[in-house]
Copies of this chain bind each other. A is one copy, B any other.
């Protein structure tokens, strides 16, 4: 179902401004002020039928779980991992270019002209490097253990750095009890997090990994080890130095630069209400800004929020004091950071350090939890909604009258995409612009994957039954239907 998208594509920046203005003011007569409309959280719902003419869809007979999407912009391709299949689609109309068999894909990374994929392969995880121009050309095949989980239900993530190392955050054993952040491939020695040490990682769910400067960052949620008041999950950012060589005698084959900090996304108040569980992230590298979807625990009342974090706020937490527990009978207490502006040892490059990373191995073993919590850009979340669980998000930047607006596209667990304004303008913050229903009424399933291609002004959506492409703007809609 390919449709003409010319109209949407031809929208220039002034057009977007117009579009945004229409959006903010068009849903009611007489026209309310933007404030009024936003605070009411009344938003136009675009039904499946109304949306259909705008949507391109791809599906393959008998194939489900289109959960991995990767954009290959250089070749105008969309690589899709689904259960037992790997697809190469055209970016323009998501028509099929090539199809290959591969079991339950959980890692799908494009690195230059290579495609790196890992699949659970019926509990024998395996990773494959393929030529992106021809997916049938397998360049290399390696064991997938510590790079991909055994079980497709375990959350894992991975990133290939510009230097070609693979950083994978996954579970290493069959039962899923040995979580790991593991570096392999490339030219650096393989390193991992301390094994069976629940203070380093405590039943984590890994969400995302990013290669940023000297560090590789990991976003996850895990049981809060510093919380002695009953089991609670906290959201975290963790990082390791890319130049880490591991310890000698102590921390052999193990990170000497692993640190983690709590991410706070909460409704303020005398007793804040915490959205504890990170579900999904989106990184805007131009702004050094990370968006995260946070929800309540699955056993709690459903509630979701989006918070965004400046990379500088994350760095600030890592530069601050640590939190340390002397023994199991003592509380977790702040302890000063021996190297407050830790730069992976690269500052003193002329005076070689034994382990390259400035830190003493004793410190590296005991000081890894930061005392300060990473605070989001705004005190309260950018958007909250009760009784709903958000699943994925991407963010678009559009030029408003005076300022840049961030427009969030938030996938829900029931198959809709919410379009919500995130802006420094408080009166417009959390303004729901519209909700797109991607499924026929009565059908409910989560958005599995969401990718945005800013240059093409389009969204790519992975669902259980198909992949969709939706233009970001559907202007004739406003011309004809209003």
| Segment 254-278 of A: residues with Cβ below 8 Å from B | 267, 269-273
Contact of A299 among B269, B333, B387 (CB under 8 A): B269
The smallest beta-carbon distance between A389 and chain B, in angstroms, is 13
The smallest beta-carbon distance between A351 and chain B, in angstroms, is 37
- A228, A303, A331, A333: residue with the most chain B Cβ atoms closer than 10 Å: A331
| Segment 359-379 of A: residues with Cβ below 8 Å from B | none
The smallest beta-carbon distance between A235 and chain B, in angstroms, is 14
Contact B301 A272, beta carbon cutoff 8 Å:
no
Contact of A229 among B228, B272, B386 (CB under 8 A): B228
| Segment 319-341 of A: residues with Cβ below 8 Å from B | 329-333
Contact digits for A227-251, partner B, Cβ 8 Å, 1 yes 0 no: 1111111000000000000000000
- A228, A230, A271, A272: residue with the most chain B Cβ atoms closer than 10 Å: A271
The smallest beta-carbon distance between A348 and chain B, in angstroms, is 35
Roughly how many angstroms separate A271 CA and B224 CA in the complex, as a whole number? Answer: 12
The smallest beta-carbon distance between A301 and chain B, in angstroms, is 5
The smallest beta-carbon distance between A270 and chain B, in angstroms, is 7
Q: Is A74 an interface residue (CB 8 A)?
A: no
Name the B residues within 8 Å of A424 (CB-CB).
Answer: none
| Closest residue of B by beta carbon distance from A232 | B271
| Closest residue of B by beta carbon distance from A333 | B329
Name the B residues within 8 Å of A333 (CB-CB).
Answer: 329
The smallest beta-carbon distance between A305 and chain B, in angstroms, is 11
Contact digits for A52-69, partner B, Cβ 8 Å, 1 yes 0 no: 000000000000000000
Roughly how many angstroms separate A233 CA and B270 CA in the complex, as a whole number? Answer: 11
Contact digits for A375-396, partner B, Cβ 8 Å, 1 yes 0 no: 0000000000011000000000
Roughly how many angstroms separate A232 CA and B270 CA in the complex, as a whole number? Answer: 10
Q: Is A175 an interface residue (CB 8 A)?
A: no
Roughly how many angstroms separate A270 CA and B269 CA in the complex, as a whole number? Answer: 27
Roughly how many angstroms separate A333 CA and B224 CA in the complex, as a whole number? Answer: 19
Roughly how many angstroms separate A300 CA and B297 CA in the complex, as a whole number? Answer: 14
Residue tally, chain A, CB below 8 Å to B: 29
Contact A299 B229, beta carbon cutoff 8 Å:
no
Name the B residues within 8 Å of A300 (CB-CB).
Answer: 267, 271, 273
Name the B residues within 8 Å of A224 (CB-CB).
Answer: 229
Contact A301 B386, beta carbon cutoff 8 Å:
yes
**Interface residue SS majority, chain A:** loop
Name the B residues within 8 Å of A271 (CB-CB).
Answer: 231-233, 297, 299-300
Contact B329 A301, beta carbon cutoff 8 Å:
no
Name the B residues within 8 Å of A226 (CB-CB).
Answer: 229
Roughly how many angstroms separate A329 CA and B387 CA in the complex, as a whole number? Answer: 40
Name the B residues within 8 Å of A272 (CB-CB).
Answer: 230, 299
Contact A232 B229, beta carbon cutoff 8 Å:
yes
Contact B299 A267, beta carbon cutoff 8 Å:
yes
Roughly how many angstroms separate A333 CA and B329 CA in the complex, as a whole number? Answer: 8
The smallest beta-carbon distance between A296 and chain B, in angstroms, is 8
Roughly how many angstroms separate A272 CA and B271 CA in the complex, as a whole number? Answer: 19
Name the B residues within 8 Å of A386 (CB-CB).
Answer: 301, 387
Contact digits for A9-34, partner B, Cβ 8 Å, 1 yes 0 no: 00000000000000000000000000
The smallest beta-carbon distance between A323 and chain B, in angstroms, is 12
Contact of A387 among B297, B332, B387 (CB under 8 A): B387
The smallest beta-carbon distance between A277 and chain B, in angstroms, is 10
The smallest beta-carbon distance between A9 and chain B, in angstroms, is 41
Contact A229 B227, beta carbon cutoff 8 Å:
yes
Given A233-B271, A386-B387, A387-B386: A331 in contact with B301 (beta carbons within 8 A): no
Contact of A273 among B270, B297, B331 (CB under 8 A): B297
Name the B residues within 8 Å of A230 (CB-CB).
Answer: 272
Contact A301 B299, beta carbon cutoff 8 Å:
no
| Closest residue of B by beta carbon distance from A386 | B301
Roughly how many angstroms separate A372 CA and B226 CA in the complex, as a whole number? Answer: 21
A sample of 7 more A-B contacts (CB under 8 A), given A273-B297, A386-B387, is A231-B270, A232-B271, A269-B297, A273-B299, A273-B300, A329-B331, A330-B330
A residues sitting closer than 8 Å to B (CB atoms) are: 224, 226-233, 267, 269-273, 296-301, 303, 329-333, 386-387
Closest 6 CB pairs of A and B: A269-B299, A229-B229, A273-B300, A227-B229, A271-B297, A231-B271
18 contacts between A and B (CB under 8 A): A226-B229, A228-B228, A228-B229, A228-B331, A228-B332, A231-B271, A267-B299, A267-B300, A271-B297, A272-B299, A273-B299, A273-B301, A301-B301, A301-B386, A329-B331, A329-B333, A331-B331, A386-B387
